[in-house]
Chains A and B, each alone.
Chain A
Amino acid sequence: MRGLGIAMERQASVLKRPLWTTRELLTAMVIAVVFGIAVVSSTYLYAAVLGLGIFARSAATGLFFLPAAFAAYVLRKPGAVLLVCVVSGLVAIPFTPYGLLVLGIGGLTGAIGELATWIVTRYRDFGLPRLMATGALAGLIEFGSVLASSLRSTPLTPALVVLATALSVGAFVVAALAGYALANAVQRTGVLANTALGREQMEAQ
């Protein structure tokens, strides 16, 4: 059934399609824009998150991973996570007092998230367990990168280092879960019918 559907589409347009169609590019990017304006640049969240100092990065990067998980789950394409994180950062630049730094956080999260997504899902299996595993792995890598990039965490007590790691992993797993739940809620509205997720669900029925 699946094979047949795909075969018919391919036959309809004899031209070669780009890896990312315009529709997919724009879909991924508006997801980033929506989260950029609704979440990332929410002053409330920033104040709360950045007031936490050293833990800021872990939680903030987890936040960036939410739209990325959403887009990866919906589009199932290499590059979605990176793209979404970077664009979220771009959107947030004018709306946050953090300027270029948001873009840096976005790029870092994107690279980490993309790596974790590639390792865990191979862009094929996007079931809930794998999404959570992706989040956990991304959280670990991200905290690893904190340790590696700045040994500043040394002045912290060991208990706090453990706490920060847990926070980082937790933030990413929660982000993955939230992205998954939200994508399913949006899927029920029918607007994702033309995406990989929409097609998969249609074939499942």
Chain B
Amino acid sequence: MIALEHLTVRYVGRRQPALADLSLTLHPGETTLLLGPSGCGKSTLALTLNGLIPHSQDVATFSGRVMVNGCDTRATPPSSLAPQVGIVFQDPEAQCVMWNVADEVAFGPENLCLPPEEIRRRVGEALAAVGMAGWEGASAWQLSGGQKQRVALASLLALRPRVIVFDEPTAHLDPQGVREVFAAIAALKQGGDHTLILIEHRLDELMPMIDRVVVLGARGELIADGAPHAVFNAHFDDLRALGVWLPQVTLLGARLGLRPLPVTLEQAELALRAYVGSAFHPIGNGHQPEFRAANGPAAIEAHALTYRYGAREALREVSFAAPEGSLWAVIGSNGAGKSTLARLLAGLLPLREGALVIRGRDARRLSARDWSRAVGLVFQNPEHQFVAATVRDELRLSARAAGLDAGRREQRVDELLERFALARYANANPFTLSHGEKRRLSVATLLITDQPILLFDEPTFGQDQQNAQAIQALLASLRAEGRTIGVITHDMALAAHAQHVLVMHQGRVLAQGAPESIFADADVLRRAQLLLPPIGELGMRLGLRPLPLTVEAFAKLAQTPAYA
């Protein structure tokens, strides 16, 4: 059992505490979902549970106490805390520290000085528990993200902790990885021996497992605590105002005015069957509401693009047309060739085989400068683009590189500072901005020359809900200015908002078209190892066609006369 008693934690250099006078008891065998807005102290709470705060992370204030099975964490050495509470972190790259799987899983038991035979036995058991038996000899570089996270879980299981905390374990994974990690968590839950604490934002998939929901407020205080159904129903408006992730089906239920709000997919399915009742028309009533495949002129047209890194083929005969003025999404599992494609389109890689037409002009005939004025590429990590000491200098540098003359330069910089709401931070260091501000700045540095086509490589990767939404809004506003926006993404909810989707797998195009038709094709999803967004899953179960993928689309569908 874990008990937090009036716990207050404040980081060095911060005025506000990250956790404020928090009291909470976690019961054995229970699965708790921890929710709260970004920066409310969820990760901080996780770190206090196995003593990493205060033993490994300096903090300015640590008052109250955390009791783990009757021991105060402050006075308990890591050697006895680690076998009780384990944490799976967000970043698979940073938490796998050894060079191969067996060593990684053995790392903890070795630290505890267990005898080699015992370590070997535990390594085998732990890997079997996460479905990675037989991978002992694999090197860390051979593993996919999902496999790395499962190895990370195994390396904790080898210490046999009864409590396991998951701090956004799927934030850096592709859909296949998400599925694998959730399966591993579900298996743990099935075993029934573990107390699980989950910090996650893909709630729809998790909800059936959750026994209890704990919500923290913006200042790290307790806001709600109870069974999921009770918490979401009693506090829905507060939670929404707070900017907490909520299950998509709950949002849909609220939108449709259902009471009580559904929390799991099953509940939503049940409620909606009752809601639409006998007027319910499955599949093919011929009615086409607002869905349409975007036609018209293409911003980018590719014919049989092939690209090789040395002998390794990354793209094979990729052909597509990205409609002008659309939000265009490229999806596919890790290593499918999405980033390679983006770089090729942005002129960063040499165009060797195939043809590329950008806004009606043969890309081979474009000068490097014209190309970069036509297509901009925003990288996944905004920090990678920063080179200057202040936000303003960052923009100035871009303006100079774009060849604007001195007078025009300052004017353009000011325009962009205004346009992206960064004027307040003109003199701040780019790295000290928030995630959302960094993203805006990285777009601003690129937009100096006002490219009509902008490509984003995984813009919402590892972001929380607020940022993800802010990024979506940014994309929408850029598109509203008439630009063509291409996004490469693992976020199916983002892809669901696109007008045109390109599905890639192992360097080839598997399918392309309107998202409603792509996601309705079970065969494509399976082959490309993709997941339906939760609302799509619900629509599928209800047999709706065209398949609604977002809450808005579903709500519109429900209001059309055919269903009323």
Contact = CB atoms under 8 A, between A and B. Distances in A.
> In the complex, is A directly touching B at CB under 8 Å?
yes
B12 A194 contact: yes
Nearest to A189: B431
Given A12-B58, A12-B61, A13-B74, 16 more contacts: A9-B12, A9-B58, A9-B59, A9-B60, A12-B54, A12-B62, A14-B74, A14-B75, A21-B56, A23-B57, A188-B431, A190-B429, A190-B431, A193-B12, A193-B13, A199-B12
A188 to B, nearest CB: 5
Given A12-B62, A14-B75, A190-B429, A22 B56 contact: yes
B12 A12 contact: no
Majority secondary structure, B binding face: loop
A191 interface: yes
Contact of B12 (A23, A190, A202): A202
A158 interface: no
B168 to A, nearest CB: 20
B432 interface: yes
A162 interface: no
Contacts of B62: 12-13
B77 interface: yes
B57 to A, nearest CB: 8
A189 B429 contact: yes
A13 B77 CA distance: 10
A193 B57 CA distance: 12
A15 interface: yes
A12 B389 CA distance: 35
Interface string A1-13: 0000100110011
A185 interface: yes
Contacts of B432: 188-190
Pairs of residues from A and B, 6 with the lowest C-beta to C-beta distance, nearest first: A189-B431, A12-B54, A12-B62, A13-B54, A188-B429, A13-B55
17 contacts: A5-B60, A12-B54, A12-B59, A12-B62, A13-B74, A15-B55, A21-B56, A22-B56, A23-B56, A185-B389, A189-B429, A189-B431, A189-B432, A190-B431, A193-B12, A194-B57, A202-B13
A67 B62 CA distance: 34
Contacts of B55: 13, 15
Nearest to A194: B58
B141 to A, nearest CB: 14
Contacts, number: 49
Interface residues of B, number: 18
Contact of A191 (B56, B59, B77, B431): B431
Contacts of B56: 21-23
Interface in A155-197: 185, 188-191, 193-194
Contacts of B57: 23, 194
A189 B429 CA distance: 6
A143 B77 CA distance: 47
A174 B54 CA distance: 39
B274 to A, nearest CB: 53
A38 B515 CA distance: 43
Interface in B505-562: none
Interface string B363-381: 0000000000000000000
Majority secondary structure, A binding face: helix
Contacts of B12: 5, 9, 193-194, 199, 202
A119 B398 CA distance: 45
A22 B94 CA distance: 14
Interface of B: 12-13, 54-62, 74-75, 77, 389, 429, 431-432
A76 B252 CA distance: 55
B111 to A, nearest CB: 11
Interface in A64-84: none
A23 B432 CA distance: 21
A90 to B, nearest CB: 13
A185 B75 CA distance: 38
Contacts of B60: 5, 8-9
Contacts of A199: 12
Nearest to A205: B13
Contacts of B61: 8, 12
A58 to B, nearest CB: 31
A185 B13 CA distance: 19
A199 B58 CA distance: 11
Contact of A12 (B74, B77, B429): B74
Nearest to A193: B13
A193 B429 CA distance: 14
A15 B59 contact: no
A22 B52 CA distance: 12
A14 B13 CA distance: 21
A5 B59 CA distance: 9
B217 to A, nearest CB: 24
Nearest to B60: A8
Contacts of B389: 185, 188
A19 to B, nearest CB: 15
Contacts of B13: 193, 198, 202
Contacts of B58: 9, 12, 194
Contacts of A188: 389, 429, 431-432
Contacts of B77: 15
B296 to A, nearest CB: 44
A13 B74 CA distance: 5
Most interface-central of B58, B429, B432 (chain A CB within 10 A):
B58
Most interface-central of A13, A14, A22, A190 (chain B CB within 10 A):
A13
Contacts of A191: 431
Nearest to A21: B56
Nearest to A201: B13
A71 B62 CA distance: 29
Contacts of B429: 188-190
A144 B62 CA distance: 52
A205 B407 CA distance: 37
Contacts of A15: 55, 75, 77
Contacts of A189: 429, 431-432
Contacts of B431: 188-191
Nearest to A23: B56
A202 B54 CA distance: 20
Nearest to A191: B431
Contacts of A12: 54, 58-59, 61-62, 74
A21 B57 CA distance: 10
Contacts of A193: 12-13
Contacts of B59: 9, 12
Interface string A37-49: 0000000000000
A190 B13 CA distance: 11
A189 B383 CA distance: 10
